Each structure stands twice: as structure tokens, then as C-alpha cells.
A and B are shown apart, each in its own frame.
Chain A
């Protein structure tokens, strides 16, 4: 099999000169790696005709830390903290995907308490991630107030994590075979208080931003991603669901205790930026609903089923597990050669990487300002693209 490697300069065709009386010329600009929309370090090369985008070439790799390669030298216990640093807004779900794959491979059965706490924590994290996304979208579209509102509420969820886990961002909490720590006695009452606080706030978000005519103008009918295209591009999560594909791993392949709770998969009808916005707003309410159902009757039991073993060896074979993070399907592939406590090869299927390439498909033809709406509505976390 031959692989054609094309350099960036080959991708950038010579700018064409249009045959119009007004002689216009297409030109390139670098959006990033240092640009407010990059939200980290993502370089986007735009071919522009005036303000209209002709071509989008994402150039990822500025935050590449070689996490997959590092995993090959670490035991499964040590891989967990590395995953925190991929999609830092879904750190708990990242932990969970490794834990789940390792448990599957080693045949570890967890108990109901562990699974319930994992689900609650993941949903809180999803809520936190979507709250932050809402604020960042507002900031990208020029409504800076939304950004600070979202940070205010995000911190309150962060305090719950901090109390139980000891960290606000890089959790390192869900381990193969259980959890790092048990929850504190007042965890339940605090989470209930938090949900009571957040539920009206999501309506406040709607009042501040969603109903705004300018925001709707900026999002509606912009960057339409067809359901079929979304599937062939490998988009997952809210991006895929906004295109009308009801694919939610929590429903189609339930893990944790998602099969025991009642929640709706929110889907969009058109696949434009507004649908992606609306799907996430609704998902926040669904997350609150899930946590509300689980928080009242936490099952009893130990928080760790197997005594923690750093020397855990997986039998020879290939294993793949996946979870639904706030941004889509995160998969972990482990190839174990049977000897040694580290994987022979570890690979992550990152939702952001696939979602990023949707811009090459949907952004051409729109304006620079629309590109901001489009990329913001995809909710990308750059370190997860590069890993």
C-alpha cells in the first residue's frame, strides 16, 4: 500500500485571478496558532476571496505531546493521569474509557456503587463542559458577559469535584477496578443543592443569549452539516446528533448505569450551528435529569473492587472500549502482548480530531465571521486533537 504524503505548500494551490472587471485575488491567511478562535494552539489556513472562505486547511500538531507513545512505557495505573491531559474538559470520561477497556480485558466486574458514582461524576463533568462551551461561544460571537457567567457556574461544579477528588481539572479519579476515593458524606446534599442552583440558570442562559436576535442570525442556517456527511466524516457527539443522527453511546451501547436511567437523546433537524447550539443546551438539562435520578439512591458497597494492582497484566490481545464524552465518542485501543505491565500499543480515537475535519467540509462559501460560529459550535478542545 502506498501513502501519498502531501505538504502544506502542495495543498495550497497558486491563487487564481478572477476574470472580472474588478480584478480580485484570492489570498491566504493563517488563523492561528495564535488567534483567539484557536482556543489553544490550532492553526487554520484559510484561502479567502475578500471575506468569503474558499478553502479551509486545518494544521493540527502544535500541542502534540506524544501521549500514545508515552502510554507504551507506563502501566495501566499510570496511563490514567495522562488521559486527563487529552480532553481536559472531559477528564473523568477520559479516565473512564481506559478503566473500562482495562476492566473489559482483565475481566474485572465492578459493583453498582462504582458505576453509579462514575455516571454521576461523568454527567456533572458533561454539564461543566457544556456550561463552559456556552460561555466560550458567547465570547467568540462578541458577547463577553456570557463567558464570565459560564465561568461563575463552572467553578461551582468544580468545587464539588475538588472536594471529592482533590482536583478541579485533571481528575485522575476513575481507576481500573474502581475509584480513587470514596465520596464524602455530604456529597449527596451538595450535588442536590448544585442541581437546584443550575436548573434555573440554564433558563437564564437562554434568556441572555439563546433568544437574542443577533445570535440567532449568527447561528441559524450557517454551516449546515448533513447527517450523511457527518457520518462519513466520523463526527460524533452533539455535532452528529445535531445533524439528525440519534447516535448516543449512552443509549445504543449503554455502559455505567445509563441503561437504568431515563433520559432523551437530543437531536437536531438541520445540522446548522443553531442545532448544535440547541442540542448542547438541551443536553445540559438531560444531564441534570440523569444526576437527579441517580443521586437519591446510591447503592452501598466498596469503592474499589480489586485491590489496586500496578502490576496488572492484560492477556495477549487487542481490546477496544469507548465512552461518550462531552464532545463525542472517545475510544481506547489497547494492544497487549501478554508480557509486561504496559500496553504494546495504545491508541485513542479522539472525537475532536474527527469533528475538526468537518470544518473543511462545511466552512467553504461562508464568511470569516461564520467560520467563528462554525468552529465554536463544534466545541473543539485542541489538546485532544493532537494528544
Chain B
């Protein structure tokens, strides 16, 4: 049991352990890393299936219907059936498409997403690598993810796809700024760029409520910007189902389409994971001031469950957005970013700096 005020979470990443073994038994370290990579791959598949099933069920219940019910108990095997179908489908490449770029597009999108999965701290003992420039790494990768969409839109040689790709590029690059400003606030609070360090800085209270609303505002800004970056409703204009007939993925089918689709769902998990890590204490249990018994009870729940629970809540919020809001228009989207979110983000950053200078936290750091 932890004593209040002295949280001592020791973070050991998978990479750390491999490094430890590297000195004595290098083959053991290599095998360990291969196992870790395989685990990430398995996680991608499991997450994809789980999230797709979850989204379908949640959407169905928002819409007064049952959702998938046929395959397995309450349709629980539906995702597996869908995966098999997508695997067996013909992979159609348009005749006048740019064949290489058409192939690279979906791969790039998925790979970028998986790279982020590697640095998320799931628990003190479960993190693939604790990159010393963690936040910068996240920002860089999320900026890269647009390249896949743009390539997909460009290489399809279809005007609708091109429009979708262009929209995606404009949108992601714009909202990247707000997302980064929101992340900077937390970086300034925590005084570190490593993700595990940011989590540990929240032992006394999560950043979302520790800084007089500044944290809450940054979280709101980040959620809006991140929803736009992963192209989900109300910002799904690159797809624009009813306008662009699918946008950048109009000309994709079979496994290539599945990669875009999978990336979209994993991205949702990634965004929820980043939000949780930065604003909601990551794997830290909930602590309230000096409520000893409550804090001890919360401490009994393992950190990985805390992380998972928080992520599930955030993913649910993202799904809630999607099944409630209509879609925005492309110029309204730009106006929202450049005229509202960006100034608010800068003011918020300034307020955060003032709070740090004056040490106006709710709980001591």
C-alpha cells in the first residue's frame, strides 16, 4: 500500500528490460523485443476488432436498434467474420492509379499509428519504450499520418478522392497547431517531455483539474483538435460520405481499405490514450486530497486497469460525438481553427505560464 504524498511508482519499460538482458544474454534480449513487437501487432488486431464491435454496438444503441446480433452471442464474433471477408475480398486497383503510392498510402497511415502505440504508457511496467522526447515524438508522428491520406487521395486518380486528400491535408495541418499548444501546456506543468514523467507528475492530482481550468481548457482544445486530426465526425470532411462518397478511400477495397479503416479505429484509441496520459493521470489512480481510505481503496485497482478504464471512457466520448453531430463544412472548419481555437490556445498557454510562475496549483507538485 502506498502512503499518501509519497507515490513511488518505479517505471520499467520493455526496452529497459531488454537493455538489462543485453549485457549478459543478448539472444534473450532479442527474443524479448521480438515478442514485444508481436504483442503490439496482436494488440493492433485485437483493438481494431474490439473497437469496431464496440462502435457498432454503441452506435446501434444510440439509434434504437440492436446492432450485430447474428455471429456469436450478441454478435461478438462479427468483427472476426468481417475481417475474414475483407481478407478474401478482391484488391481492386484503379487502372490509371499511381500503383506504388496507392499501396504506400494505407500502409503509411497504419504504421504511423502503430508507432504511437509503442510509446504510450499503459502501466508502470508496461510501456514499450519511454522516449526522452515523448511529446515531440507524438506531435511529429501525428503530423506524418496525414501523408498517408494525402497519398491515398492523390494516387487514386479520382477527383473525389483528390478533394478528400486535400481536405485531409489542410485540416490535419491546421489542427496540429492547436493540439501542440494544448500538449505544451502539460509539458510546461510537468517540466518533462517523457510520457512516463508526465504521468508521474500527476501523482497528487490530474492536470485536468489542478490548474484553475487551464488544464481543463487544454484538454477540451486537445480533444477537439484530435477529433479533427483523426477525421471523425463532426470533422470527417475528408471522408465526407454523402459529399465525396468516401473521399480519400473511395478507390480502395479489400485489405488496403481495411488498413485505412483499422488505422482510423486505432487512432481513436491513440487519441484517447494520449488524452488520458497527459490530462487524466495516465495509469495513476484517482486521489483526492487527504481522504486516506478512499485513496488506499483506489490504489488497490491495478494501474493498467486504470489506464484502460479511462481510455474506454474517452473512446466512448469520441463515439458519442460521432453519432450525435452533423458534419461541418470545410471553410467552417478552418474558421473554427484559425479564428477561435488558435487564439484560445495561445491565451491558454500564456495563462499556464503565469500559473507556473506563481505556483498556483491546487495540489503541491
Partners in one complex: yes
Using a CB–CB cutoff of 8 Å, the interface residues on chain A facing chain B are 27, 29, 35-37, 51, 138-145, 148-149, 152, 208-209, 212, 214-215, 217-218, 367-372
- Among candidates A138, A149, A368, residue contacting B163 with C-beta atoms closer than 8 Å: A368
- Among candidates B159, B234, B236, residue contacting A29 with C-beta atoms closer than 8 Å: B159
B326 and A143 contact, CB distance less than 8 A? yes
- Among candidates B243, B327, B332, residue contacting A37 with C-beta atoms closer than 8 Å: B243
Give B339 Cβ to nearest chain A Cβ, in Å: 13
A143 and B324 contact, CB distance less than 8 A? yes
Give A209 Cβ to nearest chain B Cβ, in Å: 7
Listed by A's residue number, 26 A-B pairs whose Cβ atoms lie within 8 Å are A35-B245, A36-B242, A37-B242, A139-B242, A142-B241, A142-B242, A143-B326, A143-B327, A144-B59, A144-B323, A145-B59, A145-B63, A148-B63, A152-B64, A208-B324, A209-B326, A214-B327, A217-B328, A217-B329, A217-B332, A368-B163, A368-B243, A369-B237, A369-B327, A369-B330, A371-B243
Q: Does B62 contact A (CB under 8 A)?
A: yes
Give B165 Cβ to nearest chain A Cβ, in Å: 13
- Residues in chain A near residue B159, CB distance under 8 A: 27, 29
- Residues in chain A near residue B148, CB distance under 8 A: none
A29 and B160 contact, CB distance less than 8 A? yes
In the complex, what distance in Å separates the CA atom of A182 from the CA atom of B63?
Answer: 36
B326 and A36 contact, CB distance less than 8 A? no
Binary flags per residue of B219-231, CB closer than 8 Å to A gives 1, else 0:
0000000000000
In the complex, what distance in Å separates the CA atom of A24 from the CA atom of B237?
Answer: 22
In the complex, what distance in Å separates the CA atom of A145 from the CA atom of B322?
Answer: 9
Closest 6 CB pairs of A and B: A142-B327, A148-B63, A141-B326, A143-B326, A369-B329, A36-B242
- Among candidates B65, B244, B326, B327, residue contacting A148 with C-beta atoms closer than 8 Å: B65
A367 and B234 contact, CB distance less than 8 A? no
A215 and B245 contact, CB distance less than 8 A? no
- Residues in chain B near residue A141, CB distance under 8 A: 242, 326-327
- With known contacts A145-B323, A148-B64, A36–B245 Cβ distance under 8 A: yes
Give B246 Cβ to nearest chain A Cβ, in Å: 9
In the complex, what distance in Å separates the CA atom of A319 from the CA atom of B243?
Answer: 43
In the complex, what distance in Å separates the CA atom of A138 from the CA atom of B323?
Answer: 11
- Residues in chain B near residue A144, CB distance under 8 A: 59, 63, 323
- With known contacts A142-B234, A143-B326, A149–B63 Cβ distance under 8 A: yes
Give A327 Cβ to nearest chain B Cβ, in Å: 20
- Among candidates A29, A35, A142, residue contacting B326 with C-beta atoms closer than 8 Å: A142
In the complex, what distance in Å separates the CA atom of A209 from the CA atom of B323?
Answer: 12
- With known contacts A142-B234, A149-B64, A214–B326 Cβ distance under 8 A: yes
- With known contacts A145-B62, A149-B64, A367-B331, A138–B326 Cβ distance under 8 A: yes
Q: Does B233 contact A (CB under 8 A)?
A: yes
In this complex, what residue of B is CB-closest to A29?
Answer: B159
- Which of A35, A218, A368, A372 has the most chain B CB atoms closer than 10 A to its own CB? A368
- Which of B64, B160, B241, B242 has the most chain A CB atoms closer than 10 A to its own CB? B242
- Residues in chain A near residue B237, CB distance under 8 A: 369
- With known contacts A145-B63, A149-B63, A212-B325, A367–B330 Cβ distance under 8 A: yes
Known contacts A145-B62, A214-B325, then 15 further A-B pairs from the complex at CB < 8 Å, ordered by chain A residue: A36-B241, A142-B326, A143-B325, A143-B326, A145-B63, A212-B325, A214-B327, A218-B328, A218-B329, A367-B329, A368-B243, A369-B243, A369-B330, A371-B243, A372-B243
- List which B283-324 residues lie within 8 A (CB) of chain A: 323-324
Give A194 Cβ to nearest chain B Cβ, in Å: 17
Give A363 Cβ to nearest chain B Cβ, in Å: 13
Q: Does B152 contact A (CB under 8 A)?
A: no
Q: Does B215 contact A (CB under 8 A)?
A: no
In the complex, what distance in Å separates the CA atom of A148 from the CA atom of B328?
Answer: 20
- Residues in chain B near residue A37, CB distance under 8 A: 242-243
A370 and B329 contact, CB distance less than 8 A? yes
- Residues in chain B near residue A29, CB distance under 8 A: 159-160
- Residues in chain B near residue A370, CB distance under 8 A: 329
In the complex, what distance in Å separates the CA atom of A368 from the CA atom of B59?
Answer: 27
- Residues in chain A near residue B281, CB distance under 8 A: none
Give B74 Cβ to nearest chain A Cβ, in Å: 19
Q: Does B121 contact A (CB under 8 A)?
A: no
B63 and A372 contact, CB distance less than 8 A? no
- List which B36-80 residues lie within 8 A (CB) of chain A: 59, 62-65
- Residues in chain B near residue A35, CB distance under 8 A: 245
Give B358 Cβ to nearest chain A Cβ, in Å: 36
In the complex, what distance in Å separates the CA atom of A27 from the CA atom of B159?
Answer: 9
In the complex, what distance in Å separates the CA atom of A266 from the CA atom of B236?
Answer: 34
Q: Does B240 contact A (CB under 8 A)?
A: yes
- Among candidates A142, A148, A152, A371, residue contacting B325 with C-beta atoms closer than 8 Å: A142
Give A149 Cβ to nearest chain B Cβ, in Å: 7
B245 and A214 contact, CB distance less than 8 A? no
- Residues in chain A near residue B59, CB distance under 8 A: 144-145
In the complex, what distance in Å separates the CA atom of A218 from the CA atom of B326?
Answer: 9
- Residues in chain A near residue B326, CB distance under 8 A: 138, 141-143, 209, 212, 214-215, 218
B240 and A369 contact, CB distance less than 8 A? yes
In the complex, what distance in Å separates the CA atom of A51 from the CA atom of B171?
Answer: 14
Give B331 Cβ to nearest chain A Cβ, in Å: 7
- With known contacts A142-B241, A148-B64, A51–B330 Cβ distance under 8 A: yes
- Residues in chain B near residue A143, CB distance under 8 A: 324-327
- Among candidates A36, A138, A209, A214, residue contacting B234 with C-beta atoms closer than 8 Å: A214
- Residues in chain B near residue A367, CB distance under 8 A: 329-331
- Residues in chain B near residue A138, CB distance under 8 A: 326
In the complex, what distance in Å separates the CA atom of A139 from the CA atom of B233?
Answer: 12
- Which of B63, B325, B326, B331 has the most chain A CB atoms closer than 10 A to its own CB? B326
In the complex, what distance in Å separates the CA atom of A51 from the CA atom of B159?
Answer: 11
- Residues in chain A near residue B245, CB distance under 8 A: 35-36
- Which of A139, A140, A141 has the most chain B CB atoms closer than 10 A to its own CB? A141
- Residues in chain A near residue B242, CB distance under 8 A: 36-37, 139-142, 372
In the complex, what distance in Å separates the CA atom of A142 from the CA atom of B243?
Answer: 9
